[in-house]
Amino acid sequence: LARELKLEMSSEVYDCIVIGAGIQGSCTAYQLAKNKQKTLLLEQFVLPHSRGSSHGQTRVIRKTYEEDFYVQMMHESYELWAQLEREAGVELYRRTGLLVMGPENGEGFSRLKATMQRHKIPTVFLEKQEFSQHIPNVNLADGNGALIDTFAGVLYADRALRAVQRLFQSCGGGVIKDGEKVIDIRPGTEVTVTTDSGVYRGRSLVITAGPWANTLLTHTGLQLPLKVVKINVCYWKEKIPGTYSVGQSFPCFIEMEPIEGEYDIYGLPSNEYPGLMKVCYHMGSETEPDERDKQTDRGDIDILVRFVTRCLPGLVPVPAVVESCMYTVTPDHNFVLDSHPTYGNIIIGAGFSGHGFKFGPIIGKLLSQLAMGQVPSYDLSPFRIQRFQSHARSSL
């Protein structure tokens, strides 16, 4: 292929090549460079871009998970975000708290409460009668309980991504080549990676390609059961500016299963666009990543309009701004963090299922450990490819 395209092969052999400069690839590349690994980070689009999953100004950070393994990883992730803030000299995290509302006697909400208590996560449990005193301008649905994860907050996503990429480049041995799309991967003891403008070799390869993971994995004979969905990122106008603002200490929120069988709805206080609060549906309609804007289904917006009308009376129940983003979802909504089943020096980070940003620094650490042949510092069994035994298939 390289010869057909007359591409120049770089004489340099990198310790590691990372494909995809979203939050996961950028954090992985930074960890590798910090560990003195000569690392090349390849990105198909010119940076910064808004066509994957890591763009936008804000993301939720929280420990509020039902599963112990996520809570354990989040303990360290908070520390690593604080370390990144110090290294970059910029504010990346703002504490707001996270309000979780969910069916009081439902399994999910009960499991969440139990996990919070087991891990002694600072949590306020709100009784129905005191709810509106603590959280004005929100209607708690009948039968719902409420709790607040008091250390949760907002991550400044675009700023964080830029900071990590800058730190990576400032390490000796960290190189970013953006506007270079990977078009071929040849596995081997040295992996050969061909882009539309060059050929590179690495002793190991990390694939963190977000919604394009399966497109790239085709070159390695593997397909994962990933579904790519488009998310309509909706902002809603406050009837009285500031009602739900970060300045008024309004928290982030998640409403678990607002109506039985539906996915969660979540929101962040008004902040990036003054007077507009972000409220989104935690699922979308399937899309091809290169054809995201052709997916025009707005069924999720209908659900959100009903939710805003019922629960957030201080918002105009018509979205004022709708932006686009994508989730890459696994069947169990857990990530893929593993080595390739055939090629041990190809590492895969994929399927972050709409909740991976907050884990960026710890995922970077784990993927870099796998790439360096080290034992990962967490049990990665929930994230193994093997769990999809009946789904994962060879594409050869």
Chain positions contacting ligand LYRWXNCF, by CB under 6 A:
60, 62, 254, 264, 266, 282, 354-355
Catalytic residue among 55, 203, 219, 365: 55
Q: Which residues contact 79 (CB under 8 A, 6 or more apart)?
A: none
Q: Which residue is nearest to ligand LYRWXNCF (CB)?
A: 355
What whole-number distance in Å separates Cα of residue 176 and Cα of residue 332?
A: 33
Site for ligand FAD in 287-326 (CB under 6 A): 325-326
What whole-number distance in Å separates Cα of residue 53 and Cα of residue 265?
A: 18
**Residue closer to ligand LYRWXNCF (CB basis): 174 or 349:** 349
Least distance (Å) between residue 282 CB and ligand LYRWXNCF? 4
Crossing angle (nearest 10°) for helices 360-371 and 68-88: 100
What whole-number distance in Å separates Cα of residue 294 and Cα of residue 67?
A: 36
Catalytic residue among 38, 59, 237, 292: 59
Can 59 be counted among the known catalytic residues? yes
Can 171 be counted among the known catalytic residues? no
Task: Give the single-character DSSP code of 6.
Answer: T
Stretch that binds ligand FAD, among 14-22, 65-73, 87-95, 299-307 (CB under 6 A): 14-22
Quick one: what does residue 45 bind among ligand LYRWXNCF, ligand FAD, none, with the CB cut-off 5 to 8 Å set by partner type?
Answer: ligand FAD
DSSP letters along 240-257, please?
Answer: STTTTBGGGTPPEEEES-
Do 245 and 315 contact (CB within 8 A), yes or no? no
**Residue closer to ligand LYRWXNCF (CB basis): 55 or 282:** 282
Do 349 and 26 contact (CB within 8 A), yes or no? no
Task: Give the single-character DSSP code of 291.
Answer: G
Can 55 be counted among the known catalytic residues? yes
Secondary structure of 42-110 as H, E, C letters: ECCCCCCCCCCCCCCCEEEECCCCCCHHHHHHHHHHHHHHHHHHHHHCCCCEEECCEEEEEECCCHHHH
**Residue closer to ligand FAD (CB basis): 19 or 101:** 19
Least distance (Å) between residue 392 CB and ligand FAD? 18
Q: Which H or E run contains 287?
A: none
Can 237 be counted among the known catalytic residues? no
**Residue closer to ligand LYRWXNCF (CB basis): 40 or 155:** 155
Tokens matching residue 364: 């970077």
**Residue closer to ligand FAD (CB basis): 131 or 271:** 271
Task: Give the single-character DSSP code of 193.
Answer: E
Q: Is the peptide bond before 48 cis (omega within 30 degrees of 0)?
A: yes
Q: Does 243 bind ligand FAD (CB under 6 A)?
A: no
**Residue closer to ligand FAD (CB basis): 131 or 148:** 148
Least distance (Å) between residue 79 CB and ligand LYRWXNCF? 18
Task: Give the single-character DSSP code of 18.
Answer: E
Q: Does 44 bind ligand FAD (CB under 6 A)?
A: yes
Q: Which H or E run contains 278?
A: strand 276-281
Stretch that binds ligand FAD, among 123-131, 184-192, 338-346, 356-364 (CB under 6 A): 356-364
Can 119 be counted among the known catalytic residues? no
- Interface size with ligand FAD, residues (CB under 6 A): 36
Catalytic residue numbers read 55, 58-59, 278, 282, 325, 358
Binding residues for ligand FAD (CB under 6 A): 19-25, 42-45, 52-54, 59-60, 181-182, 208-212, 216, 231, 233, 280, 325-327, 352, 354-358
